[in-house]
Amino acid sequence: MSPVRVLLVDDEPLVRAGLRAIIDAEPDLEVVGEAGDGAEAVSQVRATRPDVVCMDVRMPRVDGIEATRLLVARSESPRVLVLTTFENDDYVYDALAAGAYGFLLKRSAPEQVTAAVRTVHTGESLLFPDAVRRLARAHRGRGEAERPGLPMLTEREGEVLRLMARGLSNAEIAAELVLGVETIKSHVASVLSKLDVRDRTQAVIRAYESGFVPLR
Amino acid sequence: MVAIGGALRRTLFRARTYLRLVYLLLGAALVLAFGIVDLGVLGTLATAGVSMPVLVLLAVPIVVIPPALLGLVPAVRQVESVAAESLLGVDFPDGPPGPATTWPQRRRTSVWFLLHLLTGLIAGVGLAIVVPLAITALVLPFTDDKDGIWWYVPAGIGMLIATVAVCIGLGAAVTALAPRLLGPSVDDRFEALEQRAARLSERTRLARELHDSVGHALSLVVVQAGAARKVRDTDPAFVAAALDAVEEAARTALTDLDQVLGLLRDEESADPGEHRPVADLRQLDALIAATRRAGLAVEPEVTGDLARVPAVVSRESYRIVQEALTNALRHGTPPVTIRLDVRATEFGIETVNAVASGRPSRRAGRGLRGIQERVAVLGGELSAGADDGRWRLRIRLPLPREESR
């Protein structure tokens, strides 16, 4: 299997250098390019065709949110892993809402960095489900007026969506519901298509925003 | 009845009651002073042949205008406020107000001053005329053989009680009115609140910037250190570079932390309470001498009177010069010229030095940020840049006009 192709986007060259050393040390991961801001990131994506983009949020000129929006608007786009200094940064949720798959604190240990890149690449489970819920709760009420309702899900699909929000992978959901992994996969695919979203993170955010999954 | 008696006893045996009386009598003394002048003026007019009805008409402005004008003098507000606090026992939440700085404050003080004289007049008349009269009334029935004057005794007692009651009542009334006429008005309070809000938002901004810059540096430290640990055995060159980066980032973060905390602390010590001497431009000579000892030739040129620069600007300017000299010491080539120029409405700081060739300006840019923050807090302007091989930093700070200080 060819290694996962990673693009690093951060305005601080030393952060990029550090992440490159961490990621390149793994045989199954490979840094294929670097960019210093969001605009450069978009052209680098075109040139290097990465699987995962590690994207700083706060950058001069085009920031990480705008770049994420630009990237996910295209088909065949890579998954975006947002890098942030602080979890309590309004930008993080904005980036997730803009289509990022997950976020990673820059202070994470090297092992967490590589694990996060792999999770984002496979898209099999939600990254840091508790943190996503906290962020959604902190941003509850924004745009409450046009809060979109969820389209009709079957009871089974609803159950699967709730377990997705808890961060369970397909295999874990299958074990929980005593069903086959293939069955779960088709339920997940059906949820994503009914909600008209690209991935689990977006589905979970929709589930929180619509109130389908309570924010506790 | 018992309750009223108790309250009366408490009032009569309280020192405050008599201090208030002192305040009223001060007013009476002032009335006496003004009265002598008024009588002189009116007497002169009378001897000059001004008719009685005209004199009566003239009496009102002649009596009222001089004290009203005196009440407009800014210092009267301070004097009256201190007297109101110490004698009347008025509790001004922010301490007794100082001299009047605005016309509404002056007008309200003038009204207060007239009120002080009027109440003083009433109390003075009570004590100087009614009390002797009452005493005479009390004594007369026992010393005079005349019949039918026994009622002088209750009348005298009544006059004494009435005088005491009026004095206590006036004291209480002026005490209740003092905060409204002497204390800060709604506008004053609003302005103070706005200033406080501006200070707070400035602090918040500084805190956020600190949070961002330190967060940025620490993230860098963590990423680099984590990466170095990971490739320790395979890439020694990376480890060495990472250590350099970590050292540099941590040092920069600490410098930022120091600077911003310094700014926040300066604001705190502007409040009364903790007093620590903070260096300002008066210590400029010592700073320049120290810089020279550190090996940097400095040429100061001062135009205007540095003592005119307000304390806050002076302190911040000292720090700015200090920072500029440190930058020059790190990155520049001697000598450094410092020009300080005090003008009517602005204070100019300019430093010029030659730049060592081929040096990157990145770190100089970071040192500049501390200066920029100070300049921004003071509402000034900054321009910096190299021209013709010389690094020039130019700062203009606004100064308050002299008369408004």
Using a CB-CB distance cutoff of 8 angstroms, which residues of chain B are in contact with residue A22? 223, 226-227, 230
DSSP letters for B62-123: HHHHHHHHHHTSHHHHHHHHHHIIIII----TTSS--S--SHHHHHHHHHHHHHHHHHHHHH
CB atoms B219 and A106 under 8 Å: yes
Gap from A109 CA to chain B (nearest CA, Å): 6
Of B212, B220, B235, the CB nearest to A14: B220
What six digits make up the tokens of A214?
């309570």
Of A12, A22, A85, the CB nearest to B227: A22
CB atoms B249 and A18 under 8 Å: no
Gap from A148 CA to chain B (nearest CA, Å): 34
User: What are the pLDDT digits (tens) for A138-168?
Assistant: 877 655 445 566 778 888 999 999 999 999 9
Q: Largest Cα–Cα distance of chain A, in whole Å?
A: 50
User: What are the pLDDT digits (tens) for A167-186?
Assistant: 999 999 999 999 999 999 99
pLDDT at A127 exceeding the cut of 70: yes
Strands (E), A26-177: 29-35, 52-56, 79-84, 102-105
To the nearest whole number, what is the mean pLDDT of chain A? 88
What six digits make up the tokens of B353?
């030095």
Q: What is the pLDDT of residue B403?
A: 44
Q: What pLDDT tens digit does each residue of chain B (405 aa) get?
A: 566 677 777 777 788 888 999 999 999 999 999 999 998 988 898 898 888 888 888 888 888 999 999 999 999 999 999 999 999 988 887 788 888 888 888 999 999 999 999 999 999 999 899 999 999 888 888 887 777 788 888 899 999 999 989 999 999 999 999 988 888 877 777 777 777 777 777 777 777 777 778 888 888 899 999 999 999 999 999 999 999 889 888 888 887 777 777 777 666 555 443 334 567 888 888 888 777 777 778 888 999 888 888 777 888 888 888 888 877 777 777 788 899 999 888 899 998 888 765 554 544 455 677 788 778 877 788 888 887 778 888 999 888 765 443
Q: What is the pLDDT of residue B405?
A: 39
Gap from B326 CA to chain A (nearest CA, Å): 26
C-beta separation of A128 from B244 below 8 A: no
Q: What is the pLDDT of residue B365?
A: 55
pLDDT category at A77 given cuts 50, 70, 90 is confident
Instruction: Choose, out of B210, B212, B219, B235, the residue to mutate when testing the contact with A (most A CBs < 10 Å).
Output: B219
**ipTM (interface pTM):** 0.74
Q: Which residues pair with B350 in a beta bridge?
A: B339, B394
CA A133/CA B68 separation, integer angstroms: 69
What six digits make up the tokens of B304?
């205007």
C-beta separation of B77 from B106 below 8 A: yes
Say what the pTM is: 0.53
CA A144/CA A215 separation, integer angstroms: 14
CA B215/CA B209 separation, integer angstroms: 10
DSSP letters for B171-201: HHHHHHHHHHHHS--HHHHHHHHHHHHHHHH
CB atoms B222 and A107 under 8 Å: yes
C-beta separation of B299 from B337 below 8 A: yes
Q: How many CB pairs under 8 A join A and B?
A: 61
**CB neighbour list of residue A178: distance below 8 Å, 6 or more residues apart:** none
C-beta separation of B167 from B24 below 8 A: yes
**CB neighbour list of residue A36: distance below 8 Å, 6 or more residues apart:** A9, A10, A11, A13, A59
Q: Which residues pair with B348 in a beta bridge?
A: B341, B396
Using a CB-CB distance cutoff of 8 angstroms, which residues of chain A are in contact with residue B218? 85, 107
Residue of A nearest to B213 (CA): A85
CB atoms A17 and B227 under 8 Å: yes
DSSP state of B392: E
3-state DSSP helix/strand/coil % of chain A, to nearest 5: 50, 15, 40
What six digits make up the tokens of B177?
């009115």
B208–A contact, CB cutoff 8 A: no
B234–A contact, CB cutoff 8 A: yes
B9–A contact, CB cutoff 8 A: no
pLDDT category at A63 given cuts 50, 70, 90 is confident
Gap from B242 CA to chain A (nearest CA, Å): 8
A22–B contact, CB cutoff 8 A: yes
